[in-house]
Amino acid sequence: MGIDVTTAGIGLIAAFWASGVMPQAPGFIPGLEVSGIVRELGEGVTGLALRVREG
């Protein structure tokens, strides 16, 4: 599934990653809380539809 992100948030774990409390590999981009418009669906994905807002 791919989405066009319209909103993103930083939660506690992402804040830990960004602050270095929980180190990650170089190039890691924190941010698990997102919503947006479904752009594409992979094979076998059910319960979602293209061009619908999710999140």
Confidence of residue 42 (pLDDT cuts 50, 70, 90): very high
Its pTM stands at: 0.58
- Tokens found for residue 17: 């990653």
User: What does the alpha-carbon distance between residue 15 and residue 43 come to, in Å, rounded to a whole number?
Assistant: 33
Every domain of the chain and the residues it spans? 2-54
User: What does the alpha-carbon distance between residue 23 and residue 28 come to, in Å, rounded to a whole number?
Assistant: 10
Q: What is the rounded radius of gyration, in angstroms, for the C-alpha atoms of the chain? A: 14
- Tokens found for residue 48: 């979602």
Residue predicted with more confidence, 25 or 31: 25
